[in-house]
Amino acid sequence: MAQIGKPEVSQDSEIYKSRPYVDGAKVLVGGQVKPWGGKCTDVLSPVYCTETGERICIGRQATMSPKDSVDAVDAAVKAWGRGRGDWPRRTLEQRIAAVETLVGRLKAKRAEIVASLQWEICKNDADAAKEFDRTMDFVVSLINCARGTDSAAMVCEEGVHALLKRSPVGVMMNLGPSNYPFNETYATLIPALIMGNTVVMKVPNTGGLAHCLTMEAYAECFPAGVVNFVSGRGRDTMPPCMETGLIDIFAFIGSSKAADSLVKAHPQPHRLKNLLSLDAKNLAVVLPDADLDLAAKECLAGSTSYNGQRCTAIKLIMVHKSVAEAFNTKFCAAVKGLAAGVPFGKNSITPLASSTTEYMTQLTEDAKGKGATVLNDAEGGGHCDRTLFFPAVLYPVTAKMDLWHAEQFGPVVPIAPYDTISEPIAWMENMHFGQQSAIFTASGAAAAPSRDLTELLDACAMNTCRVNINAQCQRGPDAYPFAGRRSSAMGTISVSEVLRATSVETMVAGKSAEVIRRACQGSSVFAKA
C-alpha cells in the first residue's frame, strides 16, 4: 500500500498555529490601495482542520461588482492616455527601475507569498518556493533581454530611410490561472509593464491571496492607474471590462471556451492582441525499443507532478502492445513510491485545488464501466479522501472512454495500448488541442532512428509545438518558446517573444536620415536613437 496520509492538520500542530490569514478586503485601483467595505468571499484551503472537520479559512477577497471592474479599466485607460501618459512616455530604463524596485519589495514578502501558495493551492515546500524564485529569475531575464533590444535602428530600403523602435500597445487585461497563479500571471504582466503598457489584472479566485499581498508594493512602485487589481467572480467582472472596447491586449490562461466568450464580448475583437494559453491533452508514446525504466520515470513525473494539475502534464500514455505489460508494472511500482498528504513537506501528492476529486472519480468510474482496470487499485489507486485523490492508473483506455479525449487536469493516468504507429498519429490528428508531445525510444546516442520514430516525430512536430524525446512534457527553460497549436494557445511566450507580443513596431520614415534623426531628438519614443 502506498503512503497515503489525510488532508488535515490538528489545531495543536505548529503547522496549524502558523497558518496565514491574508486579508484581501482591499482594492488597488487608480494608484491607491483602499479598504473594501463591500461583500467579501472567504478563501478556504483544501486542507481540513482535524477537530472541526472543516476546510481552514486562510483569508478573504473583495468581491467586486461589474461597475468596480470597469472603474479599474477606466483607471488603466487614464494612465495610458492614448500613449501620452506618464508611464508609456518614460524611457525603458525608467520603467525597468520601477520594476526592479518592485522585485525588491516582493522579495521582502517571499515567505508570506510562499506560505499562501502552500495553503491555498497546496504546493509542497519545494514547488511553492520554486514558483516564487523562478518568477523573480524570469523578471531578471526579461530586463536583460529588453535592455539588449532597446536601441532604435536606422535602416534604408529603396531610398527610404526608417527609424524602427518597439512601443507599447495600450491597456492589457491579464487573467492568470489557479495552478501557477504567481508565475503565469507575471509571465505576461511584467513584460507588458516593461514595454510601457498599463494593466488590469484579474486576481484568480483560487490562488489569489499571493497577489493580495502585493498590492501595496505596486501602489508604491508605479504611477497611478498603471496596475489595477480586480477580484471577484470572473463571469461578473471580466465581460464588462471587455464590453468597454478599451482593452488592447488580452492575456489569458484557462479554457478555450472561456477565452472565446471573453474575446467575443469585445466590440472590436479583431483589434485585440491575444496571448492565450489554453487547453491541452499531451500525449506520450512509448515505442517498443524504449528504455522502460526511463520512460516510466519520466511519465510518472509528467503525469503526477503537482497532482497533474498542469497544462503541460502528460494526459495520455500510449504504449506499444509488445512492452505494455512491462511498462505498466514499472510505472505502477513508481506510483506506489509517491507519498500523499498535506503540502507541508515533501509529499508528492497533495490536496487538489484546481480540480475536484469528484471529477477524478467520475472519469475513473467511466473508464472502469467501459472496460478499463485500475492497475494500482491494491496500492491505493483512486483512493479519495475529501480533497485528496491518490493517482489512479487505468488500462486499457479506449476511444469510447471520456479519458481518451477529456483533459483530466488531475491525478488520473490513462494508458492505452497501440499496435501500429498510425494509431497515436491518428489520435493527435483528430484532437482539438496541440501543445506538447513526448516520445520514448532507445536512449543510446548511436541508435539509428527507426521508420516509426521518424514518422511519429514528424507527426508530433506538425500537431504540437514541442516534442520531448525521452523526457516528460514541460515548460522551460524560459528562453525557449512556449506555444501551442489549434485550441491550445495563441501567441508565444518566452523571454524574448513575450516582449514582442506586448509591444508593436513603430517607425519614422523619410528620404533623409539626418532629418529623421533631428526630428526624433526630443521624442520619448525615439530619443535614444
Report the alpha-carbon distance of residue 44 to residue 54 in Å, rounded.
9
Residue 382 or 529, more confident: 382
pLDDT tens string 372-406:
999 999 999 999 999 999 999 999 999 999 999 99
> Residue for cell digits 466590440?
267
Mean pLDDT of the chain: 96
Report the alpha-carbon distance of residue 487 to residue 432 in Å, rounded.
6
317 membership: H or E segment, kind and range? strand 314-320
Strands 392-395 and 412-418: parallel
User: What global pTM score does this model have?
Assistant: 0.96
Given pLDDT bands bounded at 50, 70 and 90, which one contains residue 524?
confident
Domains of the chain by start residue, with CATH = 8-278+493-501 (3.40.605.10), 282-485 (3.40.309.10)
> Residue for cell digits 539626418?
514
Given pLDDT bands bounded at 50, 70 and 90, which one contains residue 354?
confident
* Alpha-carbon separation of residue 382 from 71, 227, 350, 369, 499 (angstroms): 46, 43, 14, 14, 43
Tell me the Cα Rg of the chain: 25
CA angle 325, 328, 334 (to 5 degrees): 145
* Alpha-carbon separation of residue 101 from 105, 221, 243, 403, 479 (angstroms): 6, 7, 34, 47, 23
Q: What is the dihedral of CA 291, 293, 298, 303, to 10 degrees?
A: 120
Please, what sign has the CA dihedral across residues 28, 33, 37, 41? positive
Residue 529 has pLDDT above 60, yes or no: no
Report the alpha-carbon distance of residue 133 to residue 379 in Å, rounded.
35
Given pLDDT bands bounded at 50, 70 and 90, which one contains residue 436?
very high
Report the alpha-carbon distance of residue 399 to residue 354 in Å, rounded.
26
pLDDT tens string 81-140:
999 999 999 999 999 999 999 999 999 999 999 999 999 999 999 999 999 999 999 999
